[in-house]
Amino acid sequence: MKPNWRDSTKEQRAEIITQAVKERLIGRDIAALFEGATTDQVTSFCCENRIKMVPRTVASGKARRKVTLTSSTVVRQFYEIADRDEVQYLAVAKRAGVHPVTLTNWRGGQSPRLSDFENAAQAIGYRITLVPIVEAAEK
């Protein structure tokens, strides 16, 4: 018998979802493990509780590397980290308070607004800082 989404505790949900992620299930398949759960509810729960879900392309074995067209080093690093950690862009966008298309636009070369980019970096566990440039002569 499936557990009911509304009646289950946060801990019960986290345990079931964590096990499902280990088995490389994707959002809609995880939602099907609960009575009355939607994919959006599962995705939001994972985002709020920092549970990394498996991207659909990775789960199906059809993952391909996306090209980052931006000329900004820090934006390229953001996508390298996000791709390496298999971060879900929908979850990052929700945590950062931006539209998911915004992340796609950044990857395609559009310059991000600094406050939005800082929020996106924080959503994947990083912060943007300024580091002084040390001239070769000063070393």
The percent of residues in the chain predicted with pLDDT above 70, rounded, is 84
pLDDT of residue 139: 55
Cα angle for residues 109, 85, 69 (degrees, 5° grid): 15
- Tell me how far the alpha carbon of residue 108 is from its chain's centroid: 18
**Sole residue written with tokens 């953001």:** 78
The percent of residues in the chain predicted with pLDDT above 90, rounded, is 22
**Sole residue written with tokens 């070393």:** 139
Q: Report whether 128 contacts 74 (CB < 8 A).
A: yes
Under the banding of pLDDT at 50, 70 and 90, the label for residue 24 is confident
Q: Would the pLDDT of 55 be above 80?
A: no
pLDDT of residue 28: 80
Q: Region 52-76: what's the mean pLDDT?
A: 64
Q: Would the pLDDT of 66 be above 70?
A: no
Q: Region 15-21: what's the mean pLDDT?
A: 87
> What single letter denotes the amino acid at residue 35?
E
pLDDT of residue 50: 84
- Distance separating alpha carbons of residues 37 and 46, to the nearest angstrom: 13
Which DSSP string do the residues of 30-42 spell out, in sequence order?
A: HHTTSBT--HHHH
Q: Would the pLDDT of 63 be above 60?
A: no
- Tell me how far the alpha carbon of residue 69 is from its chain's centroid: 20
Q: Tens of pLDDT along 77-116?
A: 998 898 888 888 888 999 999 998 898 888 888 889 999 9
Query: Closest Cα to residue 30, out of 48, 57, 50, 52?
Result: 52
Stated length of the chain = 139
Q: What is the largest CA-CA distance in the chain?
A: 71
**Who's near 118: CB < 8 A, 6+ residues apart?**
127, 128
